[in-house]
Chain A
Amino acid sequence: EAQVTQNPRYLITVTGKKLTVTCSQNMNHEYMSWYRQDPGLGLRQIYYSMNVEVTDKGDVPEGYKVSRKEKRNFPLILESPSPNQTSLYFCASSSFSSSYNEQFFGPGTRLTVL
């Protein structure tokens, strides 16, 4: 089954404790992206990757890091989480062959930073 998986689905942590949210896709997609969803703000892009070793900032990259060492994986790293990073996070992927960049989304990771 074609899918984007994220782990963990839920995470409660404390300020300053480094964490990684994993994202993996099995569709051989070139493009991957991370979003956060906050009430009243919709989906905002954090980082994206056009291919292996090619990453760039989105609209709200502060406090986040990413890496793309393999085509299928695109982990999101919070080196020193803060309470304002409490949010719902989505990973997405798409193929350059799609006409309109239809992105496939993972199920989401709900992060709470205390």
Chain B
Amino acid sequence: DQQVKQNSPSLSVQEGRISILNCDYTNSMFDYFLWYKKYPAEGPTFLISISSIKDKNEDGRFTVFLNKSAKHLSLHIVPSQPGDSAVYFCAAGGGSNYKLTFGKGTLLTVNP
């Protein structure tokens, strides 16, 4: 059973426009959510996180929105830059075992 879902395998946007990456989850017990970015031949790197008691967290060009009633979160990147082209993973966690459950990832391509 896939508890964290990223239903769009890929997304293509123009440089300067907004990128919106989506993530849905099924487990209402998750306490926090994270986004990771992954370039080819590198490990994932942490991007931004949000607690389940918040609905928005912003860090520079990156904003994560959480809609608990819909069990949905999204990552907004504004403005998008070619260097943002990467695979983005949504992850969710909580509980005593510190486990993170990852989605399958979305490949973002930002075209110059």
Contacts and interface: CB of A to CB of B under 8 A. Distances in A.
Interface of A: 4, 31, 35, 40-45, 48, 50, 56, 58, 90, 92, 94, 96, 99-108
B73 to A, nearest CB: 13
Interface residues of A, dominant DSSP: strand
Nearest to B33: A100
Interface in B38-95: 41-46, 49, 51, 89, 93
A100 B43 contact: no
A1 to B, nearest CB: 14
Contact of B98 (A31, A90, A105, A106): A31
B41 A50 contact: no
Given A42-B103, A42-B104, A107 B98 contact: no
B46 A104 contact: yes
B102 A102 contact: no
Given A35-B102, A48-B98, A50-B98, 14 more contacts: A42-B102, A42-B105, A48-B99, A50-B97, A96-B98, A100-B34, A100-B51, A105-B43, A105-B45, A106-B43, A107-B41, A108-B41, A108-B42, A108-B43
Contacts of B42: 107-108
7 contacts: A43-B44, A48-B98, A100-B49, A102-B49, A105-B45, A107-B41, A108-B42
Contacts of B43: 4, 90, 92, 105-108
Contacts of B49: 99-100, 102
B18 interface: no
B42 to A, nearest CB: 6
